[in-house]
């Protein structure tokens, strides 16, 4: 009889699993159980429409009980795709045919579908630096070669993007896609200007590549001017746009989507199981949002604006007079801080642990190194008074670590 042994994973893992081994783990943070949760971008639980979702669930079961509990359409529940189209029409005056929308298990899954459809191991892509750590984990699992493009107040620096694309062309290589977060960029905060959006689209056409536009927070604008999406501005079918209900309904519903030229949809659909993504929850979300979309989003904007302002107030009360740089995003969930000159990272780490402050270190947002002098704070979870209190604590920790 053969003695049982544990499998040798190194010999059995697929190429993609080897590439991504450990990449999907959340970045290490200084506090195990934070008193102040400023680390992850968690939506405010007090904003969840508990009673409304209960009513929507009952309405779904009365109106569409059997279909809701059966396999659904491969492209996703048509009612949800109609809701997405309605949302774009309402907030952006943008017409998107429902056949151009495919439902996913949240926006992270939507982005993964796009990478799976167009990126092979070793393929070069362009990405902002810094960028969302969760997407970086997905990119790593796909084995892409990431070329960094820095940010400024107008978003992705298109002059550097051009340089990267020209360098690839000189090497005889094709950039597969350009990944960008256009509104309230996570983590750094800027909204891409109209000028840069038009320049980026022109680059995509000139260098025969695609743009993957990540817009998870677009409706949560507190101030400033909204610009047309890259998807709306492009007339040549080169933009894929990812969206989600996670930030305007609840992350637990796990519903997102891609908007793309119709001929691309089968490429994404090939990576989905049959029966569509969660037909049941798609209906519940749709039934609730049909009647409540505008007032619910308006309430969220008020909630998150107060949270952002409270955190900024606490930070500046303590750090005013230093050479710190603190973003003031026009919306979204995050504040990006360039630490003052001379800040000792280990000293700040220890002080944060003692104060019970959870946050994310800058290097988590860089594909090719960097970010040691930055931290990201999320103001979305804690109530305003806690944001203010915790912001003063982390600000004092920063000051003491200099």
Contact call for residues 313 and 78 (beta carbons, < 8 A)? no
CA distances from 359 to 20, 367, 372 (A): 24, 19, 14
* ∠ Cα 136 142 147 (to 5°): 55
pLDDT of residue 5: 60
Q: Where are the domains of the chain?
A: 26-48+297-400, 50-292
pTM for this one?
Answer: 0.93
With the C-alpha atoms ordered 212, 216, 219, 224, is the resulting torsion angle positive or negative? Answer: negative
Q: 50-292: which CATH topology? A: 3.40.640
Instruction: Give me the DSSP letters along 267-313.
Output: HHHTTS-TT-S-HHHHHHHHHHHHHHHHHHHHHHHHHHHHHHHHHHH
| Number of other residues whose CB lies within 10 A of the CB of residue 27 | 15
The residue among 40, 44, 38 whose CA lies nearest residue 392 is 38
Rounded Cα–Cα distance for residues 327 and 60 (Å): 43
For the chain, residues with pLDDT lower than 70 are 1-3, 5-6, 20-34
Rounded Cα gap, residues 112 and 177, in angstroms: 13
The DSSP string of 174-228 is ---EEEEE-SS-TTT-PPPPHHHHHHHHHHHHHTT-EEEEE-SSTT-B-SS----
Q: What is the predicted pLDDT for the residue at 24?
A: 44
For residue 1, the model assigns a pLDDT of 59
CATH fold of the domain at 26-48+297-400: 3.90.1150
Check if 26-48+297-400 and 50-292 are the same fold.
no
């Amino acid at each position: 009889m053969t003695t049982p042994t544990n499998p040798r994973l190194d010999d059995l893992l697929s190429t993609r699993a080897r590439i991504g081994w450990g990449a999907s783990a959340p970045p290490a943070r200084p506090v195990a159980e934070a008193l102040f949760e400023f680390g992850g971008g968690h939506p405010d639980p007090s904003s969840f429409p508990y009673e409304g979702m209960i009513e929507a669930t009952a309405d779904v079961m009365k109106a569409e009980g059997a279909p809701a509990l059966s396999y659904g359409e491969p492209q996703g529940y048509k009612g949800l795709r109609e809701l997405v189209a309605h949302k774009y029409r309402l907030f952006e005056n943008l017409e998107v045919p429902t056949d151009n929308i495919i439902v996913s298990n949240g926006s992270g899954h939507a982005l993964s579908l796009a990478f799976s459809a167009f990126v092979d191991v070793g393929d070069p892509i362009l990405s902002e630096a810094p960028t969302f750590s969760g997407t970086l984990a997905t990119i790593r699992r796909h084995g892409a070669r990431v070329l960094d493009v820095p940010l400024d107040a107008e978003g992705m620096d298109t002059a550097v993007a051009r340089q990267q694309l020209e360098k690839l062309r000189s090497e005889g290589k094709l950039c597969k896609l350009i990944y960008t977060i256009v509104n309230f960029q996570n983590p750094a905060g800027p909204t891409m200007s109209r000028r840069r959006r038009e320049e980026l689209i022109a680059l995509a056409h000139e260098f025969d590549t695609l743009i993957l536009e990540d817009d998870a927070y677009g409706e949560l604008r507190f101030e400033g001017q909204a610009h047309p999406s890259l998807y709306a501005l492009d007339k040549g079918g080169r933009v894929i746009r990812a969206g989600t209900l996670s930030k305007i309904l609840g992350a637990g519903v796990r519903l997102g989507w891609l908007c793309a030229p119709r001929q691309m949809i089968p490429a994404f659909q090939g990576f989905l199981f049959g029966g569509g993504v969660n037909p049941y929850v798609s209906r519940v979300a749709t039934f609730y949002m049909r009647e409540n979309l505008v007032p619910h989003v308006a309430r969220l904007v008020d909630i998150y604006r107060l949270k952002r302002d409270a955190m900024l107030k606490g930070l500046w009360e303590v750090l005013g007079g230093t050479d710190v740089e603190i973003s003031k995003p026009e919306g979204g969930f995050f504040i990006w801080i360039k630490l003052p000159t001379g800040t000792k990272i280990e000293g700040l780490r220890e002080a944060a642990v003692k104060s019970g402050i959870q946050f994310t270190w800058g290097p988590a947002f860089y594909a090719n190194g960097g970010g040691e002098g930055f931290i990201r704070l999320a103001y979305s979870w804690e109530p305003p008074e806690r944001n203010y209190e915790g912001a003063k604590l982390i600000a004092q920790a920063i000051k003491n670590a200099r």
